[in-house]
Structure 1
Amino acid sequence: MPAVPYVDLRGRHALVTGGARGLGASIARRLARAGASVTVADMRRELAEKLCAGLTEEGHRAAAEELDVRDASAVARLFAELDERAHPVDILVNNAAVDVSKPIEHLTADEVTRVVATNLLGPMYLCLESYRRMVARGHGHIVNILSTAANRTWTEAGPYAAGKSGLRAFTHTLFKEAQRDCLGIGVTGVMAGGMETPFVLDRFPDADTGLLQSPDVVADTVLYALSVPPGSVVPELVVVPRSESSWP
């Protein structure tokens, strides 16, 4: 799908977690093509660097950072380094997520910890670091990528649904606090349905891709949330394939 920049993001810096592939890569491309400088944070350094090299060749500004969002100290170091470079985060997109598709009786404690730490604690760590900085500067926007699992779960998705439900609650709370603390800060949860990405296809290689949506559609939804004029904000958006079975 061609890039459709709904908003001029020149002069703004975006940080996208899990940005090396799939939905994260689609979001990073959309933001860069709308004019933002983009930091692609991912544990897959080589993939992140390849994506950024391609964006740089197009004339955009993009840099890769290796980051495990479960590591609160690493998250804090990244924000401190960006501050030192005079490159504060204006737009944070918490996209990094994992899943382990198993019945609850077969899950291990380590698997549960990995999913919940990545999908809930990680975004919370990033919000903690970015939100206080945005309040100090008087502006910014945080986008948390949610899932229909935050609304209606299914079997073999216990930790995933728990993490996404928790992140939705945290996002709603952050939205209310931004209303109190700083009206220049936007907070948006994007609840996405099934996408044709490695996140789905690596676990379900036989999935019917005709029932999935392009990640570019969800990336355009993120861009729309950033396009709303000052004085308004979109607190939550839902974008699903027409055949989505987990909504409503």
Structure 2
Amino acid sequence: MTCHADLSGRRALVTGAARGLGTSIARRLAQAGASVCLCDVRREGGEKLCAALTVEGHDARFIELDVCDAEAVAAAVQELEQDGWPLDILVNNAAIDVTKPIEHLTADEVGRVVTTNLLGPMYLCLAVYRRMVARGDGHIVNILSTASNRTWTEAGPYAASKTGLRAFTHTLFQEAQRDCLGVGVTGVIAGGMETPFIMERFPDADTSKLQHPDIVADAVLCALSVPATSSMPEVVVVPRNEPSWP
């Protein structure tokens, strides 16, 4: 799937941009003409990607940011505004998982997963959405998962966080319909991808049942290129033989 979006003059922030899907999304946005702010807790990977995009002629910057820190999130968005860099596009991609049966999980593990996957995107939406409404334009994309529709074992906190994010995304879409038709909100339900998120935890995973993250990144571009007369509140992108859908 290829989408030829023109994002020239648009400024985008992508969380979890230092590797995997986040890197694919950041690259696609930059290739479409957007200026991209890469956010991640992995400074080395984020700065390496930023340098590579800059060498390729794209406008990119990196911010070391832990989305779990609400104050840091608010400060980062405020600093971008003050630097003449108001956000037109927000992609909430950062996510983690702890693959354990519920009986073996710790409170800290549960808290970290839920805060990263659910509260983090909400913190960013709180900081960005009202500014988009005030300007009358913008688009928020939240990366969801098939776990927001169907659960499986050893993924309790992850499924709970992604299900919650899907509900939040649907609510935000409805409020944008009321508050400002110039602001788009899209949830992207992504199936299994051949990224470190999967391969580091499941090195023996059957890659024939996984999709390349560029496919999901293209879906993000398609959501961003929908004409103003239409909207794409949710899109599902899964491998043909996805085992966790529907």
| TM more than 0.5 | yes
Q: Deviations over 1:58-78 (max 9, x none)?
A: 100111100000000000000
- C-alpha distance in structure 1 between counterparts of 2:4 and 2:178, whole Å: 28
Q: 1:64 aligns with which of 62, 65, 71?
A: 62
Residue 146 of structure 1 is matched in structure 2 by 144
Q: Deviations over 1:88-124 (max 9, x none)?
A: 1100000000000000000000000000000000000
Shift of 1:208: 0.9
Question: What aligned pairs does 1:1-248 form with structure 2 within 5 A after superposition?
Answer: 4=2, 6-248=4-246
- C-alpha distance in structure 1 between counterparts of 2:177 and 2:3, whole Å: 27
Secondary structure of 2:160's aligned partner: helix
- C-alpha distance in structure 2 between counterparts of 1:222 and 1:182, whole Å: 21
- C-alpha distance in structure 1 between counterparts of 2:124 and 2:69, whole Å: 10
Secondary structure of 1:93's aligned partner: strand
- C-alpha distance in structure 1 between counterparts of 2:74 and 2:37, whole Å: 15
Structure 2 unaligned blocks of 5 or more = none
Secondary structure of 2:76's aligned partner: helix
Could you state the TM-score of these two structures normalised by the residue count of structure 1? 0.98
Shift of 1:5: 5.2
- C-alpha distance in structure 2 between counterparts of 1:134 and 1:89, whole Å: 8
Q: What's the Cα RMSD here?
A: 0.9
Secondary structure of 2:193's aligned partner: coil
- C-alpha distance in structure 1 between counterparts of 2:104 and 2:79, whole Å: 41
Structure 1 unaligned blocks of 5 or more = none
- C-alpha distance in structure 1 between counterparts of 2:62 and 2:222, whole Å: 24
- C-alpha distance in structure 1 between counterparts of 2:196 and 2:58, whole Å: 25
Shift of 1:232: 1.0
CA contact (8 A) 1:5 1:33 kept: no
- C-alpha distance in structure 1 between counterparts of 2:195 and 2:29, whole Å: 19
Shift of 1:46: 1.1
- C-alpha distance in structure 2 between counterparts of 1:232 and 1:82, whole Å: 29
- C-alpha distance in structure 2 between counterparts of 1:180 and 1:68, whole Å: 31
> Following TM superposition, where does structure 1 have runs of at least 4 consecutive aligned residues deviating by more than 6 angstroms?
none
Q: Deviations over 1:159-210 (max 9, x none)?
A: 0000000000000000000000000000000000000000000100111111
Shift of 1:38: 0.1
CA contact (8 A) 1:5 1:34 kept: no
CA contact (8 A) 1:153 1:161 kept: yes
What percent of counterpart residues are identical?
Answer: 75
- C-alpha distance in structure 2 between counterparts of 1:211 and 1:151, whole Å: 19
Change (3 A) 1:49 1:5: farther
Shift of 1:231: 1.7
- C-alpha distance in structure 2 between counterparts of 1:67 and 1:239, whole Å: 27
